[in-house]
Structure formats: structure tokens, C-alpha cells
Amino acid sequence: MVLDKLRITEIFLSLQGESRSVGWPTVFVRLTGCPLRCVYCDTTYAFSGGESRTIDDILEQVRSYQTRHVCVTGGEPLAQPGCTTLLRALVKQGHEVSLETSGALDISAVDRRVTKVIDLKTPSSGEMGRNLYANIDHLLPTDQIKFVIMNELDYQWAMGMLEKFRLTERCEVLFSPAMRVQDPTELAEKILADRLPVRFQLQLHKILWGDVQGR
């Protein structure tokens, strides 16, 4: 299996719209392919197609943007075996690197210097059964767990996960309202009422540019 090539949907410069580095100019490397089909997915165009590119070629394009932050995303980036090689190469190149992953695939081989942002799938996502809970043991304090909340069921389930796995003692936890499904003000008020030690998150890029691809 070739590990020095990856199938890439797009590489682009934008502002990071989520996670701890929200607002920073960031190069996004979007890998093609995903084994999940979450009902709220906003990157279905990355399920197939893309272009086969060498890691050296990817690194060269990333360098051309002259930014410190790089986010490797998808699809599901870890579905391609060469993803971990790319992550290490980006770190070696001096970037501050984050990985956006569903948490359905093993994260143990990811370089410890990479910030892992794991989207733990809620019941309404349709893919809760794909959660690989063993990944929680590999979380570092610099990592983040994200819950995309669609309704009260998801909210209650997420609170249960906080308690069951003591997630806020492991890393930062994000609660994000599903766009055009969960009212953000309602979710914010629930977090405050229940005194949850989590970060409320809106998708900055969607506020600025809507659903435009490559932003």
C-alpha cells in the first residue's frame, strides 16, 4: 500500500472556524473519502473523487500560503493510511497541526504533537454505533472532543458521556449546535443552566461565508 501519496479533495486558505484555534488563518488539507454517513455532514462532496498527490507536493503547496496553522480534515482523513505520515511531515515542517476526525478510526498512531479534534457521534448523527471509545484512552490535554448537538436527546447523551468517561478531566470539550437544526441560543442557555464545563462553539466560517466550499 502506497503511503507517500494521498487522495486530496482540496487545499485552501481560510480562517479556522472551529476548535481552540478558531479565527486563525489556517491552511486546510481536505482528504477524500469517509466510511461514515452522518446526517449533518456538510462535506459530502469529499466522499469520492479527489486527486492523487504526493506528500512532497502537498507540503509544497501548504508552504506557499506562509501560515503557521494547518488543519488536516475530510471526509475522514484517517481512512487513508498515509494520513499519519502527512501529519508528521507537517509538524516537522514547523506547522501547528490539527486533525479533524470522526473518532471511528484508531488515533493511537497520530503524532502526539498534533492536536486531535474528535467528533464523538451523537445518537441523531446516525453513526453513534461507529464510535471507537478506545480512542478516549489516547486523548491528551491538548486534544478536544466535539459533540454536534441536534436535539434534546443528543444533549442528554452528551452529558452522559461527560460523566461516564470524565471527559472534561482529559481534555477540552466542545458542544456545537447543528446548523439550521439546533437553535444555538437554546443550546447556550442549557449549558449555562446545567453549569457544564464545556466550550460552546459556533462555526465561524459558516457565519462569514455560509456553505461555500473551500472556505
CATH, residue 34: 3.20.20.70
The predicted pLDDT at position 129 comes to 96
* Number of structural domains the chain divides into: 1
**Which range of residues forms the domain containing residue 16?**
5-209
Band (pLDDT 50/70/90 cuts) for residue 1 is: very low
What mean pLDDT is predicted for residues 20-36?
95
In a domain, 214, yes or no: no
Residue 95 CA to its chain's centroid (Å): 17
Residues 128-138 pLDDT 10s: 999 999 999 99
User: 215 lies in a domain?
Assistant: no
Q: Are 88 and 4 in contact (CB under 8 A)?
A: no
What whole-number distance in Å separates Cα of residue 133 and Cα of residue 103?
A: 8
Backbone angles phi, psi at 117, to 5 degrees: -115, 105
Question: 160-169: per-residue pLDDT in tens?
Answer: 999 999 999 9
| Bridge partners (DSSP) listed for residue 29 | 11, 72
Please state, in angstroms and rounded to a whole number, the distance separating the CA atoms of residues 168 and 172.
Answer: 6
